[in-house]
């Protein structure tokens, strides 16, 4: 049985994620106190319907009961149950904006006398230990509903196993850094196709741009060193039980150099037989 615990900051998109999981065949329950999770897992494992995929949302709405989540997860692991934690996050500014748009009260509203900023700060402190033990992490700050759906599908559409899923992503620093990344490589040091008029409107997905970027010796050497680095690191991550690895390449606008390198390294990992997804966060954005 694949058992996912969905948690994270209030307003970070847990309901949207559960809707996606439900669409791909997960049996989902929202706002379950942690103490009930082991019993529910036992019921699911003994059910005649043979429920294979389960997603439970538990968060700070559970009050003090939520603080027992780590002990409960540890206990379930000791019993041999396969539990994964998905932690959802977003920046303070985005969370505040979402609450203002929906006009909903934060679960900690009364304890901080109505201050939304204080409520978010308090919740971050209470959730810090859960974030540290999570298997999957998604920052929804800059994701559209469609992009969030793609991220969840990427993680959970296939049967979950112990094999690590790798995401290679490009982004533009002028749109903000990539907060989900485990490894970030800044390729702004390389020659920029943006300053070539006939290349400016093209992207690293096109041969004219990728060939321009990769014709320089420093680009070729950097890619070679990056391949050596991931060849060294990935077995170590897998040995430590890491379920998800996000490798991000950033350039100024997220259209040329970062895209070229994300495509090149992502294809290299695919050719090695690793479960790899390549995406480009800012390739269609303008600022």
In the structure encoding, which two tokens stand for residue 237, read together?
């991550």
Q: What is the pLDDT of residue 24?
A: 79
**Co-location of 145 and 25 in the same domain:** yes
Q: What is the pLDDT of residue 56?
A: 94
**Co-location of 142 and 199 in the same domain:** no
Distance CA 136, CA 141 (A): 16
- Reported as a single tens digit per residue, the pLDDT across 51-96 is 788 999 999 998 888 888 888 988 888 888 878 999 999 999 999 9
In a domain, 124, yes or no: yes
Q: What is the pLDDT of residue 287?
A: 57
Mean pLDDT of the 256-269 span: 97
CB 4 within 8 A of CB 21: yes
**Co-location of 134 and 38 in the same domain:** yes
Domains: count for the chain: 2
- Reported as a single tens digit per residue, the pLDDT across 141-191 is 988 888 888 888 888 875 444 457 899 999 999 999 998 899 999 999 999
In a domain, 287, yes or no: no
- Among 127, 156, 185, the domain boundary falls at 156
Q: What is the pLDDT of residue 162?
A: 42
**Which residue's structure tokens are 């259209």?**
255
Q: What angle do CA 154, 158, 164 make, to 5 degrees?
A: 70
CB 139 within 8 A of CB 19: no
Largest CA distance in the chain: 65
**Co-location of 64 and 198 in the same domain:** no
Mean pLDDT of the 198-207 span: 96
Distance CA 34, CA 56 (A): 9
In a domain, 196, yes or no: yes
Distance CA 270, CA 109 (A): 47
Distance CA 275, CA 169 (A): 14
Does the pLDDT value for residue 10 go beyond 50? yes
Mean pLDDT of the 199-215 span: 96
**Which residue's structure tokens are 């329950």?**
29
Find all residues with CB under 8 Å of 130, minimum gap 6, and list them: 7, 8, 69, 70, 85, 87
Q: Average per-residue pLDDT in the chain?
A: 90
Q: What is the pLDDT of residue 67?
A: 84
Does the pLDDT value for residue 286 go beyond 80? no
Q: What is the pLDDT of residue 12?
A: 95
In a domain, 286, yes or no: no
Distance CA 175, CA 172 (A): 6
Q: What is the pLDDT of residue 154?
A: 80
**Co-location of 13 and 123 in the same domain:** yes
Of residues 110 and 172, which shows the higher confidence score? Answer: 172
Query: Helix (H, G, I), strand (E, B), or coil: what is residue 169?
Result: strand
In a domain, 174, yes or no: yes
- Among 113, 138, 156, the domain boundary falls at 156
What CATH number is given to the structural domain containing 104? 3.40.50.300
In eight-state DSSP terms, residue 284 is T
Domain of 62 in residue numbering reads as: 2-156
In a domain, 211, yes or no: yes
In a domain, 285, yes or no: no
In the structure encoding, which two tokens stand for residue 183, read together?
């490894």
Does the pLDDT value for residue 120 go beyond 90? yes
**Co-location of 23 and 151 in the same domain:** yes
Q: What is the pLDDT of residue 241?
A: 65
Mean pLDDT of the 30-42 span: 89
Distance CA 89, CA 10 (A): 9
**Co-location of 88 and 169 in the same domain:** no
**Interhelix angle 145-156/14-23, nearest 10 degrees:** 50
**Co-location of 144 and 187 in the same domain:** no
**Co-location of 6 and 133 in the same domain:** yes
Q: What is the pLDDT of residue 51?
A: 78
**Co-location of 34 and 91 in the same domain:** yes
Q: What is the pLDDT of residue 163?
A: 57
Other C-beta atoms closer than 10 Å to the C-beta of 141 total 18
**Co-location of 173 and 150 in the same domain:** no
Of residues 45 and 97, which shows the higher confidence score? Answer: 97
**Co-location of 35 and 93 in the same domain:** yes
Other C-beta atoms closer than 10 Å to the C-beta of 110 total 10
In the structure encoding, which two tokens stand for residue 100, read together?
């203002």
- Among 97, 122, 156, the domain boundary falls at 156
Q: What is the pLDDT of residue 161?
A: 43
CB 57 within 8 A of CB 12: no
Query: Helix (H, G, I), strand (E, B), or coil: what is residue 118?
Result: helix
Mean pLDDT of the 119-147 span: 91
């Amino acid at each position: 049985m694949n058992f996912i615990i969905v948690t994270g900051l209030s307003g970070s998109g847990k309901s949207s994620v559960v809707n996606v999981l439900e669409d791909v065949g997960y049996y989902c329950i929202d706002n379950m106190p942690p103490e009930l999770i082991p019993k529910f897992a036992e019921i699911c494992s003994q059910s005649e319907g043979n429920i294979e995929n389960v997603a439970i949302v538990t968060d700070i709405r559970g009050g003090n009961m939520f603080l027992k989540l780590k002990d409960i997860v540890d206990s379930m692991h000791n019993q041999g149950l396969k539990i994964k934690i998905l932690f959802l996050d977003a920046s303070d500014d985005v969370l505040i904006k979402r609450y203002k748009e929906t006009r909903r009260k934060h679960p900690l509203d009364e304890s901080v006398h109505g201050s939304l900023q204080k409520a978010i700060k308090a919740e971050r402190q209470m959730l810090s230990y859960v974030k540290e033990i999570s298997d999957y992490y998604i920052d929804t700050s800059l994701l559209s509903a469609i992009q969030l759906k793609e991220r969840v599908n990427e993680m959970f559409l296939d049967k979950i196993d112990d094999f690590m899923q790798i995401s290679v992503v490009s982004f533009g620093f002028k749109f903000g850094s990539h907060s989900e990344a485990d490894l970030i490589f800044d390729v702004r040091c390389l020659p920029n196709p943006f300053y070539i008029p006939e290349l400016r409107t093209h992207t690293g997905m096109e041969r004219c741009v990728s060939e321009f970027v990769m014709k320089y010796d420093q680009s070729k050497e950097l890619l070679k060193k990056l391949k050596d680095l991931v060849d060294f690191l990935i077995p170590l991550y897998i040995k430590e039980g890491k379920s998800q690895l996000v490798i991000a390449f950033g350039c100024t606008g997220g259209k040329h150099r970062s895209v070229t390198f994300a495509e090149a390294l992502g294809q290299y990992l695919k050719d090695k037989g690793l479960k790899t997804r390549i995406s480009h966060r800012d390739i269609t954005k303008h600022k």
